[in-house]
Amino acid sequence: MPGEDTAEENALRAELAAERSYTDVCRAALGTADAAAQDRVREGAGVLTGQHSGEAAAEGVAGDGASAEALGRHLRSRAAELQREPDGPPFFGRLDFLGAGPGGEEAGEHRGQRYYIGRRRVSEHPSAPPLVLDWRAPVSRAFYQATAVHPQGVGSRRRFGWAPEGTGTAADLTGLEDERLADRPRESTGEGPSGAADGHTLASRIVTGEIERPRVGPMRDIVATIQPEQDDLVRSGPDSSMCVQGAPGTGKTAVGLHRAAYLLYTHPRRIERGGMLVVGPNAAFLGYISAVLPALGEGGVRQCTVGDLLPGLPVRAEDPPRVVELKHSARMAEVLRRALHGRVRLPDSPLAVPDGSYRWRLDEAGLRALVEETLAQRPPYEVGRERVRARTAALLREQAERRAGPPGGAWLRRMGRTRALTGFLDSVWPRTKPEEVVAGLLGDAGALARAAEGLLSEEEQRALLWQGRRPRSPRTAHWSEADLLLLDEAAGLIDHPEESFRHVVVDEAQDLSPMQCRVLARRSRFGSLTVLGDLAQGTTPWAARDWPEQLAHLGAPEAAVTPLTTGFRVPSELLGPANRLLEALEVPVPPARSLRTGGELRTVRVATTAGLARVVQERVAAALQREGSVGVIAAGERTAAVRAALEAAGTATGAPGGEPERVAVVEAELAKGLEYDHVVLVEPAELAGSGPLGLRHLYVALTRAVSRLEIVHAAGLPEALRG
Ligand SMILES: Nc1ncnc2c1ncn2[C@@H]1O[C@H](COP(=O)(O)OP(=O)(O)OP(=O)(O)O)[C@@H](O)[C@H]1O
């Protein structure tokens, strides 16, 4: 009854009412801004088609057709983005800086100010003071970092609770929570917000609620609840590369994506969207994360696998596993380099270059020295060729100078292009293509032996050589998937790739082979990397054993490695088996710990293997009675039977990664990076027994559950899961 409300409740109600009004103001401003953007597009389009300003505009006010077209494209894509941007709460936090008085001096220019913080800036018009600040603006940092010990001039921090399925209208604002940072006794409150003793327990209901919110569909952004150690990583500068070694569920992927959004906002000129690349392990994973950047207002960032960057030749051959491994090894890069540079022939005769009626002569020794010196510099092959051309022309110039004084630049250019000089180049430093280099190696035992001496054993060389499928010409070769890596490497040795990114975020980086790392290193030569991974989750035959070596392959040997150990996914009750298994994996990473409790772990014994699918189906049916997503994880060969049993019982199932179905059946190999509220892990012995990497797959599978993990088995349980 209203009459019985306490003063505190009344005050809260009044605050909520005020914040709802502010929500209305922000939404109105957002509506105006969007309408204005649409208008600009219409006007821009009108200008471009000549509708608005007559003849002159037919040419385009932007000067020429090409830039007018670019302007039009820009305007259209901006408007499309605004339209795409999902409705959502206009803000999630508020900072009240201290005024005059104790602590106020720390607030600096923000003294006495109040700021709302949201996913994007909101203002009535571009030059009006913002109603809401972008979470990436410098002052927003205090929202994530201020603590009672270091309040940074913040008097109080407010967090807002919004209806999860709402669209961010005033009615969707359901709660708020204040933390007073200034008037707490500083000695007694420890580091973390809300008086957490070690920064790893959360007293904020809103933060806890957000972290524990059931997961359905694709990954969400975490802007409202980024933790201080994550924020440090998100906001580190664009110039240096960094590596995050994080236990499962510690937010590596989230950090990487938010960092991408942060860099695009903070350094828009340096890192345009086209200059940002996000690399993930497979299509399912990319589907799962694809909505995060657009939700943060950053559409149009390329998100792909390493394979997507490779030459687009059809794959028509398959290599045995040993050969695949060999082709992924770093040694192949050196073999290819030698093969390529092995094409260079030292000059064995003098060169005569006709110049009108005169002939210049260059002696063999001078030419030889020049080619040898260039080779020793190990330049990209094409660069080397041009260097030899320029230096040969320079020798001609020296002669001309002695004879008739300094010749002009035009003469020098002409001499550099004479048929005689180009013919000389073609004989000592012939042009070549990646296909020619790789085919010349895999199709010729002698050439391979020369390039591989001391690097590959005879037996390895035999394994690499094409047997029976030797093509007539490189163009008709049947390439395997791993050959595409060799082709890309060869292309990179010939010339720097055209495609180049200013920043590359690499997720699950522990799984990349040296040759895959080099694909990324070549494309980020002038940029920096955010490398995310977990050595314990390495499940490829070439998975990294330590970070320094992997970072060297990625071209970022100087990157600092920062660990994240606080998990936001797996509750502590479910971490036991995973951490026991971790010990058996023998990787140099600390065990995960969790910020969350309340997990449920259950083991279900089935009498016979034949009965597994039916029990799984029952467990899934039970899981569906509760909120959230369900992931059934099994060895690849078992998934078909499980899926069939579920479908037979009328349960629709999806493939992993952001599909609309609530139940996904996931092969263990594809489970990496994904998460489900309820995981049914089927016959773990089959995962554990699937080769030397089996235990790693099991580790990944065990760490996918947000709330509940059920282990269904007929065979004996692997050691770590017993007891
Ligand atoms: N600060 C946070 N606030 C709320 N949720 C968070 C936060 N950090 C991470 N999460 C959530 O925790 C879950 C795990 O995060 P994420 O997938 O980024 O971890 P990861 O380290 O990449 O895991 P894995 O190693 O298994 O791939 C996600 O649902 C993510 O949204």
Amino acid 524: pLDDT? 95
pTM for the complete prediction?
0.86
Each residue of 451-487: pLDDT tens digit?
A: 999 999 999 999 999 987 677 788 888 999 999 999 9
In a domain, 470, yes or no: no
**Ligand 1 atom closest to residue 256's alpha carbon, by position in its atom list:** 18
Say if residues 534 and 282 touch (Cβ distance below 8 Å): no
Say if residues 628 and 215 touch (Cβ distance below 8 Å): yes
The yes/no answer to whether this complex scores an ipTM above 0.95 is: yes
Give 511 or 195, the one with higher predicted confidence. Answer: 511
CA distances from 297 to 123, 133, 221, 224, 265 (A): 16, 14, 11, 15, 10
pLDDT above 50 for 197: no
* Helical spans, DSSP H, in 352-433: 364-376, 381-404, 409-416, 419-428
In a domain, 193, yes or no: no
**Ligand 1 atom closest to residue 672's alpha carbon, by position in its atom list:** 27
CA of 174 from ligand 1 middle (Å) equals: 25
What size, in residues, is the chain? 723
Mark which of 371, 396, 428 sits at the end of a domain.
428
In a domain, 287, yes or no: no
Instruction: Determine which residue's CA is closest to atom 26 belonging to ligand 1.
Output: 248
* Burial group, residue 58, by CB count within 10 angstroms (0-12, 13-18, 19+): middle
Amino acid 199: pLDDT? 43
pLDDT above 70 for 186: no
Q: Which of 569, 595, 696 to mutate to test the pocket of ligand 1 (most atoms within 8 A of CB)?
A: 569
Instruction: Determine which residue's CA is closest to atom 9 belonging to ligand 1.
Output: 251
In a domain, 312, yes or no: no
- Determine whether the shortest distance from the Cβ of 569 to ligand 1 is under 6 A: yes
In a domain, 330, yes or no: no
| Average pLDDT rounded to a whole number, residues 629-652 | 92
Amino acid 565: pLDDT? 86
| Residue 412: domain span | 344-428
Amino acid 702: pLDDT? 93
Nearest to 219 by CA among 296, 144, 279: 296
In a domain, 240, yes or no: no
Q: Report the C-alpha gap between 379 and 486 in whole angstroms.
A: 18
- Determine whether the shortest distance from the Cβ of 230 to ligand 1 is under 6 A: yes
Mean pLDDT of the chain, nearest integer: 86
Amino acid 350: pLDDT? 94
Q: Which of 220, 222, 707 to mutate to test the pocket of ligand 1 (most atoms within 8 A of CB)?
A: 222
Each residue of 254-300: pLDDT tens digit?
A: 999 999 999 999 988 887 777 999 999 999 889 889 989 988 888 88
* Tokens 């030698």, located at residue: 338
Handedness of CA 163, 168, 172, 177 (dihedral sign): positive
Amino acid 434: pLDDT? 96
Give 160 or 588, the one with higher predicted confidence. Answer: 160
Whichever domain contains 629, its CATH number is 3.40.50.300
- Determine whether the shortest distance from the Cβ of 594 to ligand 1 is under 6 A: no
Quick one: residue 112, left, alpha or beta (phi over 0 = left, psi -120 to 50 = alpha)?
Answer: left
Each residue of 593-606: pLDDT tens digit?
A: 888 888 999 999 99
Q: How confident is the model at residue 194 (pLDDT cuts 50, 70, 90)?
A: very low
- Determine whether the shortest distance from the Cβ of 256 to ligand 1 is under 6 A: no
**Ligand 1 atom closest to residue 673's alpha carbon, by position in its atom list:** 27
In a domain, 321, yes or no: no
pLDDT above 70 for 413: yes
Amino acid 501: pLDDT? 94
The CA-CA-CA angle for residues 13, 15, 17, to 5°, reads 70
The CA-CA-CA angle for residues 126, 127, 131, to 5°, reads 75
Residue 361's φ and ψ, nearest 5 degrees, are -125, 130
In a domain, 387, yes or no: yes
Instruction: Determine which residue's CA is closest to atom 27 belonging to ligand 1.
Output: 673
pLDDT above 50 for 589: yes
**Of 196-200, 311-315, 386-390, 674-678, which gets the smallest average pLDDT?**
196-200
Q: At what angle do helices 381-404 and 409-416 cross, to 10 degrees?
A: 130
Do the annotations mark residue 248 as ligand-binding?
yes
Mark which of 133, 159, 182 sits at the end of a domain.
182
Please list, in sequence order, all residues whose beta carbon lies within 8 angstroms of the beta carbon of residue 357, skipping any fewer than 6 positions away: none
**Ligand 1 atom closest to residue 533's alpha carbon, by position in its atom list:** 25
Mark which of 182, 202, 229 sits at the end of a domain.
182
Amino acid 560: pLDDT? 95
**Counted domains in the chain:** 3
